Structure 1
Amino acid sequence: MQPFASDRNSESNTATWALAFGQLVAWGAVYYAFSLFVVPMEQELGWSRASTNAALSCGLLVSGLAAYPVGKWIDHGHGRVVMTAGSLLASVMLVLWSQAGSLVTLFAAWVGLGMSMAATLYDPVFAILTRDYPSSFRTKITLVTLVAGFASTVFIPLTQGLVDVTGWRHALLALAAINACVCLPIHWVSLRDDLSVIAPTVNKTQIKAENDAAVRRALRTPVFWALAVCFTAYYATFAALTFHLVPLMVERHVPQPVILATMAVIGPAQVLARILWFTAGRNVSPRIVGLIITSAFPASVAILLFAGASPVALILFALIYGGANGTMTILRGTIVQDVMWTEGYGAISGLLSAPSNIAKGIAPISAALIWTIGNNYASVEWTVLLVSLIAAVAFGIVVYSTRRHSSPLVAVND
């Protein structure tokens, strides 16, 4: 299959930086801001913590279900329309959320936000970069995740300041305006749409047929199913642990300054790990990096399991835990092309994302139910450790299954 476009350095670099900045804003305005609105909403409207978090889980479930059709539309050349419409929908839903006076409205807003996340966050960007820049997509995906990694650093204090000064409803309106003013023009101007524009000589019917055939071939490939198990198990454990990490440490009577320090290390560890991959690790095969990541995550859980209230052990856990997640995002965007193929990438990526996103929505609630068995987090930690080991074994199967096709040590230079 011929690539859809050649890389024109200045144009492609400008577009990549624009998309990276758009990802920073999209993640910050929609995803990371949620936790800051929970308490003020509960105080004003009397909603329970379970109800508000159920709305977020609903959004993640919708995002998972929408991942495949979104990926397929992008494969067929509609990335510009998909991401622009997704940005518009996100801003409209943030406005709707700001007017919520009932749980029905909150859930309706998050159903829409779930669809917008499927259309605007990492997966569609990765699909577009893979399709449009076949010789440099790895570097571009790494750059996008590196910039977007600062979303929580920028938007958590920004959103908290807006909530403190204007109240949660006006803060949501401000985020809607920021998202519309930044992401809408970025996606409309920086993206090329329709296969005839990307490659004027391409036969669109033939490309669609090849993409559809590639998806059917993926579903018959053991590597695809091993990746699906790996990503689903990984993101389930990460979501379960992330949403319960603070109460877990509180249960252990970890001092508040140590809790804050532990949580504060995770974000920078993600960014530092991405920088390390972008610099020293860019010529290392994603398969080797994947083995390191999927082994490091259960190692971090084991450290947490026996850390007690030790500040040193908890900081070590946070460094490994954050670093593994930071690089997993890049792995998620590059491993399919490394162990399978690029045809139909958007749809294949969507199929892989669907169970992962659904698992992310279910995992925090499941962890809470496991906690109720003994009213302590030991059973949750052991469960997370077991499932994370399943992710590591599944990725090992991916590497074993593909080891004969290419060198496992060196990646193609971008």
Structure 2
Amino acid sequence: MSDGILVQQPSTVRPPSPRSPFITGLGIGQICSWGSLYYSFPLIAEAMRHDLGWSKTELYGAATLGLALAGLAAYPVGAAIDRGHGRLVMATGSVLAGVLLFAWSQVSGVLVFYLCAAGIGALQAATLYEPAFAVVARRTGAGHARSGITALTLWGGFASTVFIPLVQLLLDRYGWRDTLMVLGAINLVLCAGLYAGVINPGLDHPAEGHASSQDASRTTGSVVRWAMRQPVFWALAIAFTAYSATFSAFTFHLYPLLTERGLDSAAVVAAMAIIGPAQVAGRVVIWVLAPRASVRIIGSAIMLVFPVALLMLAELPPSFTLIAIVAALYGSANGIMTIVRGLSVPEMLTRQAYGSVNGALSAPSSVSRAIAPLGMAALWSATGSYDAVLLTLIAGTLVLAVSFWSAAILSRRAAQPVQVCHVQRSDLQR
């Protein structure tokens, strides 16, 4: 670094157990945040389409805008958490999300709907996995965050299982406006309460929490600049951007893609239902069988699964059995990929300024996740078939694999700055 060096501080603080109230509270909050802010949108949008007569383009354009705004917010949110403001960020984000859900329940025009839905999308940067991972890394120290992050993904994996049927039940009984009121209350009371209660900056790992705010800001900026000069950073950025684009496009277009290939809607829905449990199963396998395996090894192995699954879908005759196998493969790999994303920064790049560095990596991923479904829709419109879309998705998974493998190789040779306190060179020369 240009103005100082970093010296390791020993710590006797024991990281919280994955079963601790801290991880449990964050985990329950993640189920509710993911369920109310992310998984609920397609169901509510469909109900609004029937009630208000709006087009899918109008409805999903708001979600796209929100995801793009989340990408822009990712770095400042991560930097704020690195400065010790995790409780403020996540609790306030949930309060604002609750208020916007209440406002959304009263909309009758497209403009106000866009303001509400786009705002909720942007607040995902302050309430979903990335900020939660950063909070865990700050509490445990980035070098000890693995078990906490893995446990958190197990909790989050149940969000769709819990909230999709819950939201559908509420829609059937009370309609979309009252459903949004319930979701708003969940954010205001449960999510905000949990994040305010379990996130305590006073319990942060000593190496993370003892610098002054001015020193922390200067050190964070130096670490981010250092990280962005490393080839590993850009290889990971390309990999995660390709992954986010492929995942988003595949998720949004899977239903019409499969029906176009001749499967009936009941079979498609049944196959898609496999993806969620497969994600949790994949994470459990890593938790039980490979708790200490390098993220380089885990990530490098699962990179093969994505192109293989999509190639099977493209080349083999469509049947429910095939689609179920593809869904299981894709779901389990996707579940493990969430862990890989959460651990790649501390294990492959740097253990410092986790929130800021991870936020910088997440920004292009969020933007690609926002625009990929629209891009694939345009490609389908231009070609009149999902064949070109599927080939493009396969190409995206190959970019993902090659980029991550490159990052894994480069990270073995990368010199990582060691976490801790800022010490002026002049102090060491006395």
Question: How would you bin the TM-score normalised by the shorter chain?
Answer: over 0.9
1:146-295 aligned within 5 A = 146-193=154-201, 201-295=210-304
Matched, 1:366 2:341: no
Distance 1:370-1:9 versus aligned 2 partners, 3 A rule: closer
How far 1:72 moved relative to its partner? 0.7
In structure 2, give the amino acid aligned to 1:137.
A
Q: Which residue of 1 aligns with 2:37?
A: 30
CA distance in 2, matches of 1:6, 1:59: 39
Q: Deviations over 1:150-192 (max 9, x none)?
A: 0000000000000110110000001111222211111111112
2: CA distance, partners of 1:403 / 1:383 = 31
The one-letter code sitting in structure 2 at the alignment partner of 1:274 is R
1:324 is matched with 333
Percent sequence identity over aligned pairs: 40
Amino acid at match of 1:288: I
Match of 2:421 in 1: none
Of 356, 361, 365, 2:365 maps to: 356
| Counterpart residue number, 2:75 | 68
Query: Are positions 1:121 and 2:131 aligned together?
Result: no
State the SS of the aligned residue for 2:352.
coil
Give the 5 Å matches for 1:333-344.
333-344=342-353
Higher mean Cα deviation, 289-298 or 77-86? Answer: 289-298
> Is the partner of 1:164 in helix, strand or coil?
helix
Match of 1:137 in 2: 145
The change in CA–CA distance for 1:5 and 1:62 in structure 2 (over 3 A counts) is: farther
What RMSD over aligned residues (CA atoms) do the two structures have, in Å? 2.0
In 2: Cα distance, 1:193 partner to 1:132 partner? 8
Q: Distance in 2 between matches of 1:205 and 1:348?
A: 18
Equivalents in 1 of 2:239, 2:313: separation in Å? Answer: 21
Q: How far has the Cα of 1:197 moved from its partner? A: 9.8
CA shift in 2, pair 1:388/1:363, >3 Å: same
Q: How does 1:290-305 map to 2 (within 5 A)?
A: 290-305=299-314
Residue 303 of structure 1 contacts residue 317 of structure 1 at CA under 8 Å; is this kept in 2? yes
TM-score under structure 1 length normalisation: 0.94
2:384 is aligned, of 363, 370, 375, to: 375
1:124-168 deviation digits (Å, cap 9, x = unpaired): 111111121025310000101101100000000000000110110
Answering whether residue 112 of structure 2 is matched by residue 112 of structure 1, we say no
User: Aligned pairs, how many?
Assistant: 406
Residue 63 of structure 1 aligns to a residue whose secondary structure is: helix
CA displacement, residues 228-279 of structure 1 (integer Å, 9 cap, x when unaligned): 0000001101111110000011111112332122101101100000111111
Match of 2:50 in 1: 43
Distance in structure 2 (CA, Å) of the matches to 1:293 and 1:174: 38
Distance apart, 1:313 and its partner CA: 1.5
TM-superposed CA distance for 1:404, in Å, is: 4.4
Amino acid at match of 2:113: L
Aligned to 2:324: 315
User: Secondary structure of 2:304's match?
Assistant: helix
Equivalent residue for 2:412, pick from 400, 403, 409: 403
Q: 1:337 to 1:8 in 2, by over 3 A?
A: closer
Cα drift, residue 294 of structure 1: 1.8
Measure how far apart 1:201 and its partner are.
4.8
> How much does 1:283 deviate?
1.2
Flag the 1:160–1:82 CA change in 2: closer, same or farther, 3 A: same
**Among 74, 84, 89, the residue aligned to 2:91:** 84
CA distance in 1 between partners of 2:19 and 2:226 (Å) = 31
Question: Is the Cα–Cα contact under 8 Å of residues 13 and 205 in structure 2 kept in the other structure?
Answer: no
Decide whether the 8 Å contact of 1:3 with 1:131 is kept in 2.
Answer: no
Deviation at 1:102?
0.9
Contact 1:76 1:195 (C-alpha < 8 Å) held by counterparts: no
**In structure 2, how many angstroms separate the alpha carbons of the residues matched to 1:140 and 1:281?**
15
Give the letter aligned to residue 74 of structure 1: I
Contact 1:4 / 1:132 at 8 angstroms: preserved in 2? no
Alpha carbons of 1:190 and 1:249: their partners in 2 closer, same or farther (altered >3 Å)? Answer: same
CA distance in 1, matches of 2:9, 2:211: 9
CA distance in 2, matches of 1:350, 1:251: 38
Which residue number corresponds to residue 411 of structure 1? Answer: none
Residue identity opposite 1:312 in structure 2:
T
Answer yes or no: is the 8 Å Cα contact 2:237–2:364 preserved in 1: yes
**CA 1:200–1:264 in 2, change beyond 3 Å: closer, same or farther?**
closer
Residues 78 and 359 in structure 2, CA contact (< 8 A), matched pair in contact too: yes
Distance 1:201 1:344 in 2: 13
Secondary structure of 1:328's aligned partner = helix
- 8 Å CA contact retained: 1:370, 1:379: yes
Native 8 Å contact 1:86 1:119 kept in 2 = yes
Assess, with a 3 A threshold, how the Cα gap between structure 1 residues 241 and 288 changes in structure 2: closer, same or farther: same
TM-score, with length taken from structure 2: 0.90
Aligned-partner SS, 1:403: helix
Instruction: Return the letter of the residue paired with 2:153.
Output: T
Deviation at 1:8, TM superposition (A): 5.5
| Residues 200, 281 of structure 1: alpha-carbon distance in 2 compared, 3 angstrom cutoff | closer
Q: Which amino acid aligns with 1:341?
A: T
